[in-house]
A and B are shown apart, each in its own frame.
Chain A
């Protein structure tokens, strides 16, 4: 009988920290656990008893990278419960804000977190020493996203201008002009980014994913839509609890999600692209076609190319909205509380983010449920790792460990969305 043990002190370049244990016996993986320690449901408990106006601000604090996603899913869930509808230029402003966050988050991941894996650097900082221009290019792209979020949200991180029903204040056309100027340059950088990352050396690995992403008849879904899956069976967001269930697994304090009873589906850029790529902007489609990305993406290592294409789309669509923007008559629509349950979902940079709130007649939150993208992907990441590791158990420990780290980073796991301060190790036995 032979045993193999791999231990790594931490997994860098993911948001938060986690722990991965792999046990192998006689060349077969007998157990694989992505462990998450800290109770992730604290925010749901924190929300109970708070006013129906508070979840956008409170849940925005869950993640420093995707606060807009939390704000948008929260707002829409509460508006749905209260029978309010945000449309027209107010909805456009929400889209703009969200595109800003996609640009911020994707640029950070592509340039500082993920590209170093392909170029042989241990970190974005190490890469910056040799490729200063590239890193500056990535930072300039991120800055365009920051400027857009700041123009609408009041500041680049943790926007303060979002409220249930809309905004506290809406920008004028003139106030959006500087952000648009940056976006024009960013769009060019984004197109160049697609070519750059598509030239990386990708392992020849494909998985038969079950994808889940929002789908919208009029746009590449980001802010809202119904739920589409690669199974062909879609459903409305309010039917989410009937289709997506969560279960506690012994090795993790994060819940594992199941889609129609089966674990291991995938949300995120590859799911969005594979289900909705026909709705990308013309420029984004062209950029994808020029690097032969195809209609679907099932190689997780190529997720970096999909992210780059989504940056092009975000820049392009944000510019289109700004060019057509007319200031709304009112910064927000009224949202009167009533005893009801509301569901909201949007596409965070890392994937579908679902919120559900039950509100009582006094407008207080009686129950909150948040399903973040990383906890939905967790089981799928474990499956990927199993497929990756088993045929490579003969590799030197360091090499196998590095490969596991890369495989996890492919999904840009914002583990802090699932649970904060994870201590990620990779152990194989």
Chain B
């Protein structure tokens, strides 16, 4: 029963998300700022992928292609918003 209720895939996904959160904590230690940001990006994106692929069953519906295109488009809009704004307001490309 326990085995039936706790499939290994879900347990592995849960443990990996906990581990990834713990790994992200190394940015509180002393190291170059660039490596810290790189670590945060990698752990956050990996965690999001675990949720999306494993728990949200994105690959199993018959219109998964449309779902992938929709999410890719949303991410495109989001990333352009974030990095376009940083480009103008923070990194000061105009100066």
Partners in one complex: no
